[in-house]
Amino acid sequence: MNQYPMWKNTLVLIVIMIGALYAMPNLFDKDPAVQVSAGRYGQIDLALMSEVETALKAQSIQYTSAELQDNRLLVRLDDAETQLQAKEVLHDAIKGDYTIALNLASTTPNWLTSMGAEAMNLGLDLRGGVHFLMEVDMDAALEKALDSLSSEFRGLLRDEKIRYKKIQVEQQHVTIDFRDTTHRDNAITKIESEYSDIVIEAIDDAASPSLTVAFTEQLIRETKTNALQQNIITLRNRINELGVAEPTVQQQGDSRIVVQLPGVQDTAQAKKILGATATLEFRLVDYEHDPQDAINGRVPAGSKLYYHRNGKPYLLQNRVMLTGEHIINSTSTLDPDSGTPAVSVTLDGKGSRLFSKVTGDNVGNPMAVVFIESKTETRIVDGETVKIRRQMPQVISVATIRDQLSKKFQITGLDSGAEASELSLLLRAGALAAPIEIVEERTVGPSLGQDNIDQGFQSVMIGFSFVLVFMILWYRVFGAIANVALAANLILIVALLSLLQATLTLPGIAGIVLTVGMAVDANVLIFERIREELRVGNSPQASIDAGYGKAFSTIADANITTLIAAIVLFGFGTGSIKGFAVTLSLGILTSMFTAIMGTRAAVNVIYGGKHRPKLSI
């Protein structure tokens, strides 16, 4: 009556063994390490390793090993204090385009990592990580909106055949100069009919009549709010691309964003990706004029001078054919013709229509891909701190349009596969609506969270120990079986957290502690039901069968309602609340397996083959 078929017993054993295997990486500590990574002009090689080793030995800094892996140099050290000293030494000793950052190097054996077994991540309150406070440049957001508006005006006036001298953005408004008042008045009429939430002012000047267009106060507020919200969404997308689990990205005030990245030690890479305001522009090449004339100061109207990354000058038309905002997907790949790194781009519907039309009209003409990156520098001018924002456009590719392009195409001319991957990430995650600047940065070291780890581990062990003692004293052999199942349950929770690469936080530990109590609660219901069946005179085998069968519906109902609550918490919560919900949900699923199927398999093995066994319960 109480015997599982062989496949069920085998399944229970296999699940527990696999769980133990994937939980095992968490037993291996991580080494404090200093990571040296190269920029565009740096190179990671044996010569750099020798330079690093020489610099450390000169300062009598002991290190465990120095190794090249994944296009970076990793120096393992004995403790966190030596790690900080080594970073300072290498920061002063290594010159060139290199980034020196703190890291934690895995010590998991290769045979485990080859099977995809990795330790779970620890949250900011346990493992440490980085905290960024970022400020959005609202003036730049407004200027970008005005630039877009001025571009729309150019197309509108050109389509309506209204002649104008120039359109420019200055002092938070757009100014349009005309040849005469007739064209100006026609432009005012047309713009007023097409646009709302703008303020138009006509300026009478006999030599050059003009008009100014500015946003209303309400539209200015909406533009700034939208820029802040879009930046939050973009930062979340970039963090997802970085693979950081359980991050915190939230608004603070009217113009600031808080970003917390638990477990991240490579702050340089995080800052580079999060703060990058790089985007792409596709422009037609002005092949009718000589770039040398522009270098000498004679820039033709309607064009602008740009430089290729190899230093070659190009004249490009002011009109932008397409921008990165229409890109919905991008992947790094190789150009099938040249074998060089490339980025495959997919456009949205509007972008593909625009690009198809403009490339169809310009077959045979050269087109340039411009990579634009913004950087902010803080300088002291006359005793005051001044932020200077610089845009650094680079032509990365110039090619003749051979055919009409549409939804999918490739960007070539990249220096390396790493650059293709980074550009692909930025395009895929989306461009920032406005530049951001990191105004505050805090790194929470692993040692600061050690007390939390110790206390959290202690709370789990104390709760676990009390449960073990109670179950053995109260339920004897059945209690011992429940204790083994409880231990297996903890192993499976850790294994699932590791497989999912979830982040464990203090609230997550609270979820595990709660799971310990809930898991044993299921066994209490079963064992009490078995006792009740024995008291009414049923045989031991019938009592075991009834205990598991009749208690199942009650256990299932209780766990399902708790699982629903955990799902709601995960859906509506943020940050650490999600961590609690994740561990609680996983604990419910694993406890259903171990407390019901696992203990039943063990009970069947011990008592199932006996006719009238004496139950120790």
pLDDT tens per residue, range 263-272:
666 666 677 6
User: How confident is the model at residue 14, as a pLDDT?
Assistant: 92
pLDDT band for 335, please (50, 70, 90 cuts).
confident
Which part of the chain is CATH 3.30.1360.200? Answer: 276-416
Q: Which CATH class is domain 139-219?
A: alpha beta
pLDDT in tens, 50-94: 999 999 999 889 898 888 877 788 899 888 788 888 888 887 888
Which part of the chain is CATH 3.30.1360.100? Answer: 139-219
The whole-model pTM stands at 0.56
For the chain, report the end-to-end CA distance as a whole number of angstroms. Answer: 19
Q: Is the pLDDT of residue 341 over 70?
A: yes
Which part of the chain is CATH 3.30.70.260? Answer: 31-105
pLDDT in tens, 191-234: 888 888 888 888 887 778 888 899 888 888 888 888 888 788 77
CATH no. for 31-105: 3.30.70.260
CB atoms near residue 578 (< 10 Å): 22
Which CATH superfamily hosts domain 6-25+448-607? Multidrug efflux transporter AcrB transmembrane domain (1.20.1640.10)
Q: Half-sphere exposure (CA, 13 Å, Cβ side) for 174?
A: 25
Q: Half-sphere exposure (CA, 13 Å, Cβ side) for 235?
A: 32
Report the pLDDT averaged over residues 581-594: 88
Which part of the chain is CATH 1.20.1640.10? Answer: 6-25+448-607
Q: Is the pLDDT of residue 40 over 60?
A: no
Q: Is the pLDDT of residue 292 over 80?
A: yes
Report the pLDDT averaged over residues 481-497: 90
User: Which range, of 11-25, 35-49, 370-384, averages the lowest pLDDT?
Assistant: 370-384
Q: Is the pLDDT of residue 113 over 60?
A: yes
CATH no. for 276-416: 3.30.1360.200
Size (the chain), residues: 617
User: How confident is the model at residue 196, as a pLDDT?
Assistant: 81
> What are the distances in angstroms from CA 595 to CA 66, 281, 561, 587, 604?
47, 59, 17, 11, 14
Q: State whether residue 302 is helix, strand or coil.
A: coil
